[in-house]
């Protein structure tokens, strides 16, 4: 197989690729999404596909990216960065001197998303800017903190610690800081990295005896953005290394921004001396967006996709997908793709069909304590009021404990909030209930069955 940079026969490569792809997808899917796909450029590092337009790109990105990579591996040998261009665009020069600016959007292969400080904003998504971030009550504070840090890195809040659930904009805001700083000061060494990548780089450096280079690379950053710090948990040597990186940067008044899925105090498996440093600057939480913010996010996103969806549809989506902005965007993309290809605004039935898995996933995640209390009370035939009452006969106390157990397992609520919802009990009571029910599940088959039955019902929204 020819692997040199310049002599790829593109029609031949397209043919090889599409015939491999045809074996992987059904005829309908192929016809709808891939019949116009061509290989527009190919070298050892990247493959650029030409697709009819942005909708095709988005749909393929969100549904078939893994497939393109694996098929590419088969057809061309070797993993490549996947890029897209649209039908009316010229192919990029092979081996571009400059990384392409806006389009084509590059998606790095996960394993090797490069982020070296010599290329200051690499590894960051160019779309994650302050401009594209919708502000609502849920993220106002975090956004303001990030803006302040972006305006005066190393001077206001150091470190800045962002935390919150999945898909709520931590990575977006963090990278917005990076882009903002880089835009104001070209040449600033903005270094974005996930804590996993940090760990992997560290292990590589140990193995290849390049630890000096590794240290220099990380410690010369002007701004270090380190994402999903919870993954350092239990990795002692990486933590040790990060501790020294942190100290060097901090002492040099370089900005450090960290993100995590939980607040510093709840980071189990991380050394105390490290965690205590996370509190030195400012800690900001991102919460799930309220309805207005969700609608605003959908509007902004459909504008940027240049797509029109009826207000009813946007409201419907905002109502059904509540806990995760990434999922909300995914839902919008699917509905928008459908609307654009069919030339119709989809009906509610159609949307439910298109979003079946997303809606299921969403329902699974958003069980409320109230629903749990109601369902458990029904099941054991006690009154809902007994869930919150102070009465303690065993026929009431036990169902209440099961409900507390489920609240802890199925919701993201803290122990003390759960206690509060069960008639102002303290967190110790909830912990006790949780242990007791867990023990009974382990010991008694019947309890295990009952509890998993209740769980399944709640997940289905019943
Ligand atoms: P996290 O890192 O918290 O898991 P991300 O930053 O990756 O979440 O956000 C998930 C997706 O939702 C991204 O595409 C991001 O651009 C988008 N997003 C999240 N919050 C907002 C917001 N307030 N405005 C616009 N887009 C948002
Ligand atoms: Mg993230």
Q: Which two tokens stand for residue 158?
A: 């150091």
Q: How far, in Å, is the centroid of ligand 2 from the Cα of 259?
A: 8
Ligand in closest contact with the CA of 127:
1
pLDDT confidence of residue 416: 87
Residue written as token pair 């800045």: 160
Q: How many CA atoms lie within 13 A of 23 on its CB side?
A: 9
Pocket of ligand 1 (CB under 6 A): 128, 132-134, 139, 164, 166-172, 297, 325-326, 329
> What kind and span of H or E run contains 18?
helix 10-22
- Which residue minimizes the CA distance to atom 14 of ligand 1? 326
Q: For residues 413 and 420, give the distance between their C-alpha atoms in angstroms, rounded to a whole number.
A: 11
Which ligand 1 atom sits closest to the C-alpha of 296?
24
124, 142, 169, 226, best to mutate for ligand 1 pocket (most atoms within 8 Å of CB): 169
- Which residue minimizes the CA distance to atom 25 of ligand 1? 133
Q: How far, in Å, is the centroid of ligand 2 from the Cα of 171?
A: 4
Q: For residues 430 and 420, give the distance between their C-alpha atoms in angstroms, rounded to a whole number.
A: 10
pLDDT confidence of residue 121: 63
Q: How far, in Å, is the centroid of ligand 1 from the Cα of 221?
A: 25
Q: Which two tokens stand for residue 420?
A: 């509060």
**What is the rounded end-to-end Cα distance, in angstroms, of the chain?**
57
Which ligand 1 atom sits closest to the C-alpha of 136?
23
Which ligand 1 atom sits closest to the C-alpha of 133?
24
- Which residue minimizes the CA distance to atom 20 of ligand 1? 169
Q: How far, in Å, is the centroid of ligand 1 from the Cα of 126?
A: 13
Listed as ranges, residues in the chain with pLDDT below 70 are 1-7, 55, 91-121, 364-366, 459-462
pLDDT confidence of residue 113: 36
Q: For residues 212 and 224, give the distance between their C-alpha atoms in angstroms, rounded to a whole number.
A: 18
pLDDT confidence of residue 452: 82
- Which residue minimizes the CA distance to atom 23 of ligand 1? 134
- Which residue minimizes the CA distance to atom 4 of ligand 1? 167
Q: For residues 101 and 236, give the distance between their C-alpha atoms in angstroms, rounded to a whole number.
A: 39
Q: How far, in Å, is the centroid of ligand 1 from the Cα of 84?
A: 22
Length of the chain: 462
Strands (E), 32-154: 38-42, 46-51, 81-86, 106-107
Q: How far, in Å, is the centroid of ligand 1 from the Cα of 374?
A: 33
Q: How far, in Å, is the centroid of ligand 2 from the Cα of 139?
A: 15
pLDDT confidence of residue 235: 92
Q: Where are the alpha helices (DSSP H) in 252-382?
A: 272-278, 291-304, 311-320, 325-342, 348-354, 356-365, 369-380
């Amino acid at each position: 197989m020819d692997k040199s940079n310049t002599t790829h026969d593109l029609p031949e490569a397209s043919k090889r690729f599409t015939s491999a792809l045809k074996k992987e997808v059904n005829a309908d899917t192929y016809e709808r999404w891939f019949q116009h796909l061509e290989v527009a450029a190919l070298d050892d590092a990247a493959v650029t596909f030409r697709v009819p337009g942005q909708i095709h790109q988005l749909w393929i990105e969100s549904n078939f990216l893994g497939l393109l990579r694996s098929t590419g591996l088969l057809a061309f040998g070797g993993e490549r960065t996947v890029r897209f261009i649209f039908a009316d665009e010229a192919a990029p020069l092979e081996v571009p001197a400059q990384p392409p600016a806006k389009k084509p959007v590059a998606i790095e292969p996960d394993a090797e998303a490069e982020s070296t400080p010599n290329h200051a904003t690499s590894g960051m998504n160019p779309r994650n800017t302050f401009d594209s971030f919708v502000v609502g009550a849920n993220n106002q504070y975090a956004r303001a903190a990030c803006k302040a840090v972006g305006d005066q890195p190393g001077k206001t809040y150091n470190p800045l610690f962002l935390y919150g659930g999945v898909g709520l904009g931590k990575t977006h805001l963090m990278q917005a800081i990076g882009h903002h700083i880089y835009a104001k000061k070209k040449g600033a060494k903005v270094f974005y990295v996930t804590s996993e990548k940090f760990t992997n780089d560290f292990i590589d450096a140990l193995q290849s005896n390049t630890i000096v280079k590794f240290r220099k690379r990380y410690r010369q950053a002007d701004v270090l953005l380190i994402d999903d710090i919870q993954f350092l948990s239990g990795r002692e040597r990486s933590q040790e290394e990060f501790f020294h990186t942190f100290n060097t940067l901090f002492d040099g008044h370089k900005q450090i921004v960290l993100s995590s899925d939980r607040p510093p105090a709840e980071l189990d498996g991380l050394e105390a001396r490290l965690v205590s440093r996370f509190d030195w600057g400012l800690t900001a939480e991102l919460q799930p967006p309220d309805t207005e913010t969700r609608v605003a996010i959908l509007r902004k996103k459909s504008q940027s996709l240049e797509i029109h969806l009826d207000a009813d549809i946007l409201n419907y989506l905002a109502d059904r997908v509540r806990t995760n902005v990434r999922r909300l965007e995914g839902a919008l993309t699917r509905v928008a793709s459908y609307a654009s290809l069919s030339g119709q605004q989809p009906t509610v039935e159609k949307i439910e069909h298109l979003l079946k898995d997303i809606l299921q996933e969403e329902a699974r995640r958003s069980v409320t304590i109230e629903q749990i209390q109601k369902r458990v009370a029904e099941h054991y035939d006690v009154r809902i009021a007994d869930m919150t009452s102070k009465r303690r006969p065993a026929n009431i106390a036990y169902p209440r404990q099961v409900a507390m157990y489920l609240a802890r397992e199925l919701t993201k609520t803290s122990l003390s909030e759960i206690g509060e919802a069960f008639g102002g009990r303290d967190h110790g009571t909830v912990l006790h209930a949780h242990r007791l029910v867990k023990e009974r599940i382990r010991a008694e088959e019947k309890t295990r069955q009952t509890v998993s039955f209740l769980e399944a019902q709640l997940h289905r929204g019943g």
